[in-house]
A and B are shown apart, each in its own frame.
Chain A
Amino acid sequence: MSLLIKGGLVVDPSQHLEDPLDLLVERGKIVALEPPGRIPAEGRRVISASDLVVTPGLVDMHVHLREPGEEYKETIESGTRAAIQGGFTGVACMPNTKPVNDNAAVTRLILDQAKAAGHARVYPVGAVSVGSLGQALSEYGDLKAAGVVAVTDDGRPVSNSMLMRRALEYARTFDLPVISHCEDLDLASDGVMHEGAVSLQLGLKGIPAAAEEVMVYRDLTLARLTGARLHIAHVSTAGSVAIIRLAKAMGLPVTAETAPHYFTLTEEAVLGYNTNAKVNPPLRTEMDVKSIKEAIRDGTLDAVACDHAPHSSLEKEVEFTAAAFGLIGLETSLSLTLKLVHDGALNLSQAIGALSTNPAAILGVNGGTLEKGAMADITLVDLNREWTVDASTFASKSRNCPFNGWTLKGKAVMTIVGGEVVWEGE
């Protein structure tokens, strides 16, 4: 059956569109994009998008789905359901599962589970090294053939610079980007939050901004050496932004992402020993927040990815130092990014670019566009819908959300994957 999405404002950075257009979907593909009223409605399911924004399906390039191995925190089913409720039609899942996604069998399991769930598309990311142990390279060619879209050391950063060099070279062989979690483990040591005035006040060991920045610099240098595609994950500091900006100006093949919490919260969110604000890299300062927003605006940071990291009460309802790092974000990411639009920090195209077009391009996956002939992954957004975050209603199995109780403006109201309406809000 064909689907006519009628009367909406189409925002598609891939075509530089921000215009009222009607959209026709047939057999899972976008077949027409026309000025309002041109496409006849007869015999078609009509979705009224009046007062709504129609965007290419959102893609979150950095999530943890926890399956296989930690299904009590999240499953591929629950995680991808959280994704579509948040407006995401595709998510890239990190390999730090149990077992680690360092071989094609795990990759195939993830894809099978995603298909069975039938919610969002899942793009598996493979491990840089076997078992993420930082010793031997995993089988990038095999992983890619099985469906992996990138390799990463997320959560278990590569300390050995030679291994990082070889990983970049080997990934270039198979045209895979390397996603780097930049953290000098010696400098971060046993820190549990940003090293600054608040860590001093709370008596908590700090993770200095330098722990991230020295590794950003190392990896950019290695990208220049190897010519490989490098993507810097979850950028959290003004210093990292400055180094990446410089690298891009030099023409290095580097891209980078940040997460909504890094442009929304500061170290002060930890006050009261709030374990839901314990995340790695840690929440930084007002100055960093300002710099991150500016970097999304000027394109230094290409993508917004929420680093959705579900943890149960077992990991979070404990002393701050004992709590796990990470917070969930799939169901708040779009709204927090739209807050930047409402606050005038970004325009709508920049926001959708960071949430859809750019991450799809970095991962080299279909999507991120509403071009004629493209796969019909589409998100409908009500920019002005006010809602109150209530983590107890989330599709995610976990509740570690530092935005619980916040009132946000702007929300996905319908998510379409491959021409099928997979989620529709009230």
Chain B
Amino acid sequence: MEFRHKDLLGIADLEPEEISLILDTAASFKEISTRPIKKVPTLRGKTVVTLFYEPSTRTRMSFEIAAKRLSADTLNLTVSASSAVKGETLADTAHNLEAMAPDVLVIRHAASGAPHYLAQRLRCGVINAGDGLHEHPTQALLDLLTVREAKGRLDGLKVAIIGDIAHSRVARSNIYAFTKMGSRVTVAGPATMLPPYLETLGAQVTTSLVEAVRDADVIMMLRLQLERMGQMFLSTLREYSQFFGLAPKHLKLAKEDVIIMHPGPLNRGVEISPEVADGPHSLILEQVTNGVAVRMAVLYFLIGGEKG
């Protein structure tokens, strides 16, 4: 099995075998982060540019650490306050960056499809670090790795994804990722946050948190964007947390060895209670650790080989 893509734009474009290959490689890269000297020369002389049009700490840092552990040079550009304000188009910004000959561009953008737009126009590889409501493929890969490590497998699991599915690129990428790997995905949330046609992505859909978590092997809580209230997607935080917040009582309905995940950052007391977030079933920090490993693997496949 080989990985033959110029870009990583979405999980929808990947075959299950390619996903397994990334996960296997990421698992082997994890060891590097435990060494006293956390660095290998694999990507020496390569340049990784991160271009973030939306605020992000965790994902940008995770890409940067991943690149540095593989000895790549990194350059980080947060655009919200620079060129975009001066009216430069996305294409112009990207062409200017490309003129400095990076090997790969990691982009986060509020417009769905912005990474695809760049991938069509640039010679260097493009990694989607989150585009609008569309996909966040490296998040899904790190979630897969976390679940595979905890459960020893991905097929036949019941995965519940709870919260604002409509506005979540994490949810879309994870629905694709887990169903491709043989898990059954159930999504739950208030109907205002469940877009029509979710079944066409292969997910089961319910408005009941209880139904979703029953017998679940994995429960993934999504971050509630607090501005959704003003947009008529929900009434109050109090009611949201009462009906869609994960509390200890819900864990009793799930499998005994259920694992709890959250892409972060947490709204403690809103979508997840502190007891659950910090409890023995939670793998939230393990997700962060795996994020570095998965991004190392993705960088390795896109720019580490001999394909020039």
Task: Give A contacts to B, CB under 8 Å.
Answer: 195-197, 199-206, 272-273, 317-322
Contacts and interface: CB of A to CB of B under 8 A. Distances in A.
B248 interface: no
Contacts of A201: 12, 200-201
Contacts of A204: 112-113, 132-134
Give the most central of B12, B111, B201: most A CB within 10 Å: B111
Contact of B196 (A196, A203, A320, A322): A196
Nearest to A204: B112
In this complex, the member of A201, A204, A272, A317 whose beta carbon has the largest number of chain B beta carbons within 10 angstroms is: A201
Given A203-B132, A206-B195, A317-B91, A272 B116 contact: yes
20 contacts: A195-B196, A197-B200, A200-B172, A200-B196, A201-B201, A202-B134, A203-B135, A203-B169, A204-B132, A273-B112, A273-B113, A273-B117, A317-B91, A318-B89, A318-B91, A319-B117, A320-B113, A321-B110, A321-B113, A321-B132
A320 B201 CA distance: 22
Contacts of A200: 172, 195-198, 200-201
Interface string B153-178: 00000000000000001001000000
A325 to B, nearest CB: 15
Contacts of A197: 197, 200
Chain B interface size band reads 20 to 34
Given A201-B12, A321-B112, A321-B132, 11 more contacts: A196-B197, A200-B172, A200-B197, A202-B134, A203-B112, A203-B172, A204-B132, A205-B133, A273-B116, A318-B89, A319-B117
Contacts of B109: 319
Interface in B86-134: 89-91, 109-114, 116-117, 131-134
Interface in B230-259: none
Contacts of A273: 112-113, 116-117
Contacts of A321: 110-113, 132
Q: Closest 5 CB pairs between A and B?
A: A203-B134, A273-B113, A203-B133, A203-B112, A319-B111
Interface of B: 12, 89-91, 109-114, 116-117, 131-135, 169, 172, 195-198, 200-201
Contacts of B113: 202-204, 273, 319-321
Nearest to A192: B112
B43 to A, nearest CB: 29
Contacts of A203: 112-113, 131-135, 169, 172
Nearest to A319: B111
Contacts of B133: 203-205
Nearest to A203: B134
B161 to A, nearest CB: 14
Contacts of B117: 273, 318-320
A266 B155 CA distance: 35
Contacts of B198: 200
Contacts of A196: 196-197
Contacts of B110: 321
A145 B164 CA distance: 55
A204 B132 CA distance: 8
